Structure 1
Amino acid sequence: MAMCSTFCPRIPHYSFLGATPAIRSISPSSPFRLSVRALSSPAQSSSSSSSPAKEIPGRIGFLGLGIMGTPMAHNLIKAGCDVTVWNRTKSKCDPLISLGAQYKSSPEEVAATCDVTFAMLADPESAVDVACGKHGAANGMSSGKGYVDVSTVDGATSKFISGRIQGTGALFLEAPVSGSKKPAEDGQLIFLTAGDKALYEMVAPFLDIMGKSKFYLGDVGNGAAMKLVVNMIMGSMMASFSEGLLLSEKVGLDPNILVEVVSQGAISAPMYSVKGPSMVRSQYPAAFPLKHQQKDLRLALGLAESVSQSTPIAAAANEMYKVAKSHGLSDQDFSAVIEALKAKQ
């Protein structure tokens, strides 16, 4: 079994992070925590050798093994962490179990046996059910534990879950991610965190395993808001890009050349160069399902309404995604929104 501790002869391998933490000792305050220096660059390590050691959790839970959750949990296991997993469909856990993960039959059991539990769920309803339902994680939480929700939900949902978790004496951090399937696989996600600062500092080494950067944004709700704003922009960009591809083709231009032109200009974005060629071929392998993009646009529009902010472009984009969903494209990549425009033609 792989562990982030000296309980296992296999030492966690962090060389791909550009740093190797110094394992100091097992903390006497808890049988499941270690006293470990924070991950840092070699230069930082040499200049802060006298800084106090920080504890990081020894047992990590992961709830939700979909397109994003599976590679995130896989990267934790690959780094040598002791990971316990749960998913509604148990078969999705099997590949991770084969790599050394443990399995529990409910979120409650995972939370009860782990120091910190991460959750990556598809929507607010699932996030609430997994955290607060009959056998939800909150039932297994207690003082000294932490719950990190990396799902994309609205601020009200995040605050509700936070209240239930904190009511058990445990710590809560919202940490929605910016990035899709490939960044999740490559450990290149961006974490937008808010909530308990002590928990943020405690899980920072694990966020560094799964991502390339992290932001601490203060009170619970700020992380959710930042993620919704980012995805609102992304959804609108994809809708506009779809219009451009179809217009170029309609006037006799090669849309493949349009993708090249865009990728070399001021409006260049990785999303265009990655998605464009497949869109020209009408292929939409799911990296970020269209139904989730539409959900995020809906939540972002609700956020804008709550502060009386006009968002006409995002509102129009949302209608395009709704049309694409009505054509059975919910589980295709969000770039399939281009098919909504083709349908209108």
Structure 2
Amino acid sequence: MKSIGFLGLGIMGKAMAVNLIKAGFNVTVWNRNPAKTDELVALGAAHGSTPKAVAEQCDLTFAMVSDPEAALAICQGKEGVAAGIGEGRGYIDMSTVDDTTSQAIARAITQAGGRFLEAPVSGTKKPAEDGTLIILAAGDESLYQDALPAFEVMGKMSPYLGEVGQGANMKLVVNMMMGGMLSIFSEGLSLGLKAGLTGDQILDVVGAGAMANPMFAGKGAMLLNENYTTSFPLKHMQKDMRLAVALGDKLDQPMPTAAIANEAFKQALKAGFGDEDIAAIYKTVK
């Protein structure tokens, strides 16, 4: 069994690394705040001192960090992944970034002699804990094959999408649609309540028709209970919406609905709800 490094132990990364450890993989973990590695070390992981050190000693190194800046930071520099990768070892970045950032990381890794795969995920805290994420892989196909046993522990589906950039693009398309749906869902629920309908009535009718989906069912209950416990931080959704709108600009694709939803998330971010769940967009609507 290949040795695995895991960089980034936030809400998602911690759950994913725990599943790898419990599945019996030899896992070395690193986090910018070293205290976050303690629980995983107690479960059997080793502690890596730097991203470079982890990449030097592991066959495959996974990363799950918050944004393009963080993804570049752990790859670059004298203690970054690219400085330690070499010798055909693999680096799989599961962070949500834009295609340009992913391609820059790919160049750094391949120039250092390593193999690169981008593999952003569709899913939030619960799917990460349950190992039911959808993993959107693109890049070196031999590395994809090597990573499949780990992907099968972390996710329920892991399609290979081709060249580096296509995984990032797929993730932005999916999250852009999710953000737009949540924005209009919040407005609809608010409108219905102000018109005198009950929340349960609205959710029952939506759930029985063509719009029924797991997100409306899960987030609907959260909104009615004013429960914004974080499974996907709102600030990260706004980042994804921003990147999707920028991709539309680059490809000359009009996206008026996505642009308006992005403004709604920006308003929620400005109101101080960035660290709460994406459901907190409802607070700026109601």
Give the TM-score, by structure 1 length. Answer: 0.82
Encode CA deviations 1:178-237: one digit per residue, 9 max, x unaligned.
000000000000011110000001111110000000111110000000000000000000
Once the two structures are TM-superposed, the CA of residue 123 in structure 1 deviates from its matched residue by 0.1
Out of 171, 175, 180, the residue aligned to residue 236 of structure 1 is: 180
What is the SS of the residue equivalent to 2:40?
helix
Out of 155, 175, 190, the residue aligned to residue 119 of structure 2 is: 175
1:260–1:273: 8 Å Cα contact kept in structure 2?
no
1:116: which partner in 2?
Answer: 60
For these two proteins, the number of residue pairs brought into alignment is 286
Once the two structures are TM-superposed, the CA of residue 275 in structure 1 deviates from its matched residue by 1.1
Tell me how far apart the structure 2 counterparts of residues 131 and 199 of structure 1 sit (CA, whole Å).
18
Q: Confirm or deny that 1:249 pairs with 2:193.
A: yes
Out of 27, 46, 49, the residue aligned to residue 102 of structure 1 is: 46
Map 1:77-92 onto structure 2 (within 5 A).
77-92=21-36
Once the two structures are TM-superposed, the CA of residue 256 in structure 1 deviates from its matched residue by 2.1
Tell me how far apart the structure 1 counterparts of residues 216 and 77 of structure 2 sit (CA, whole Å).
40
Out of 78, 86, 109, the residue aligned to residue 142 of structure 1 is: 86
Unmatched segments (≥5 aa) in structure 2:
none
Encode CA deviations 1:47-71: one digit per residue, 9 max, x unaligned.
xxxxxxxxxxx21000000000000
Q: Confirm or deny that 1:302 pairs with 2:271.
A: no
2:209: which partner in 1?
Answer: 265
Task: Give the aligned CA root-mean-square deviation in angstroms.
Answer: 0.8
Tell me how far apart the structure 2 counterparts of residues 114 and 153 of structure 1 sit (CA, whole Å).
24
Map 1:1-345 onto structure 2 (within 5 A).
4=1, 58-342=2-286
1:60–1:83: 8 Å Cα contact kept in structure 2?
yes
Structure with the largest fraction of helix = 2
Tell me how far apart the structure 1 counterparts of residues 145 and 204 of structure 2 sit (CA, whole Å).
42
1:256–1:276: 8 Å Cα contact kept in structure 2?
no
Once the two structures are TM-superposed, the CA of residue 133 in structure 1 deviates from its matched residue by 2.9
Encode CA deviations 1:25-80: one digit per residue, 9 max, x unaligned.
xxxxxxxxxxxxxxxxxxxxxxxxxxxxxxxxx21000000000000000000000
Once the two structures are TM-superposed, the CA of residue 290 in structure 1 deviates from its matched residue by 0.2
What is the SS of the residue equivalent to 1:73?
helix
Letter of the 1:232 counterpart:
M
Determine what percentage of the aligned residue pairs are the same residue: 52
The structure whose RCO (Cα within 8 Å, separation 6+) is larger is 2
What is the SS of the residue equivalent to 2:11?
coil
What is the SS of the residue equivalent to 1:216?
coil
Unmatched segments (≥5 aa) in structure 1:
5-57
What is the SS of the residue equivalent to 1:68?
helix
Letter of the 1:142 counterpart:
G
Bigger Rg over Cα: 1
Tell me how far apart the structure 2 counterparts of residues 289 and 181 of structure 1 sit (CA, whole Å).
10
Once the two structures are TM-superposed, the CA of residue 156 in structure 1 deviates from its matched residue by 0.2
Tell me how far apart the structure 1 counterparts of residues 79 and 145 of structure 2 sit (CA, whole Å).
28
Tell me how far apart the structure 1 counterparts of residues 48 and 146 of structure 2 sit (CA, whole Å).
24
1:284–1:333: 8 Å Cα contact kept in structure 2?
yes
Letter of the 2:134 counterpart:
I
What is the SS of the residue equivalent to 1:62?
strand
What is the SS of the residue equivalent to 2:54?
helix
Once the two structures are TM-superposed, the CA of residue 286 in structure 1 deviates from its matched residue by 0.5
Tell me how far apart the structure 2 counterparts of residues 79 and 150 of structure 1 sit (CA, whole Å).
19
1:108–1:135: 8 Å Cα contact kept in structure 2?
yes
